Structure 1
């Protein structure tokens, strides 16, 4: 099997930035952007009316239906790093990257909904660190809080940088400007409306992302000759296992991912996935904002 073709420095470089070019923009682009910013901030101010206590701010008063919290649960994992990162790793490693959202997500989501959520929701906590305070002691609470804060800062930095790459290519904004604008916008609607504004904006962004990615996928497939044209081209350049999730993952078999079925199931399926999906405050908080235990359990399910 041939080795994968190396990727450019970032996904857009090959088409635009390598030549010092960017996509053409006009007044309509900025009008759409301004409308989107206004809607996002409007959601924050609309949610402000329901924020009267700390429970309202952190958990939306535990009043949201399952379909809203469920979409927000997924949308929280549809940021710039996922859209850019999954596309880039898929181009580099093939279909095997689906394990991050298959083996690496679904079992842990089911475990969260059926096993952990009754404990979390029944304890009436506002976060996982607070649950550890009740379950164990202050050192456990402090350690969890510090680790989460440190990880959140790093993740936010990566997300903002990935977003800035896209904005630079589309609008020509310097990366620092894109980071400041995006950071200010998020800070504004979170400060004003709390978790409710975050969740309803995530639901909005879920549909915005689908509205963009579905046509891109359809047009992209059409451009390369449909699924048959795409699969024939990739099989010819990368080998038969490139379009297989499990092909070449036998113990001792070489594959682009550098992992076999045992390490995928044990390392990704148990260690990483359960640590992320069942204890990540940013995810679990969406389920905790549901209106009752049943809705909270159905959020990850």
Structure 2
């Protein structure tokens, strides 16, 4: 036997061992819902997007019900830059006037949403797995109210309200449409949701995608919520990645100042989702190939898991 054939045979045995080791985890997630927040730099390159879509299709074929919620901040910023519109942020949230809201909806519900759904459909075409693009405006999926924020003046220490414009917070999730797509026996649908919602007065609002993913995962009572980001997990005071923590641990990391910057809202989203009924939330690096598969189907997992206790 040639060296090439021997190496090929070894790869075959290694693949078989991997599948056998994954069997218990495959059974755990059979017919369970996993909400995946896909965004940031994890969705910046076509090759990464294609790999993500292929992994989502594989999850579907393995009996998991994936639901994708995506962001699109960099894409919105690029479009606004081309239009000569300057973006302002308060605590990580984009101040969104009427013109910015139009651009945000066009980018999120249009180009980004349809591209992700398209990649999933292309990756699953041989198995007839199809991505279907939606936004929170469809079928009353996401009802929101205007976000209010206060900011303390550094000199007077007086707090004043900051108007973020058309930025919303979820108040109600009507997940019947998503559940119907998941339950379909005639088609294998993968819902792809853009973070746009509607207020009671009919106005359209931009919503933080992490927040939408958490609210939707809670409504669906998802087995897992995966927050794909551009960091390998949550770091402790020693700088090492924490593999598992409770909601209480996450709260203390924030209170003690160990968790900073963009990690704070991610931990807050994870805590809210767990309190809403999600079994666990995992913060992991979406840039790493097959990170979702490693998390769900191996003993070591990938990233930081947040659970109730």
TM-score by length of 2: 0.21
Greater Rg over alpha carbons, structure: 1
Considering Cα pairs closer than 8 Å and 6+ residues apart, tell me whether 1 or 2 has the greater RCO. Answer: 1
Higher strand share: 2
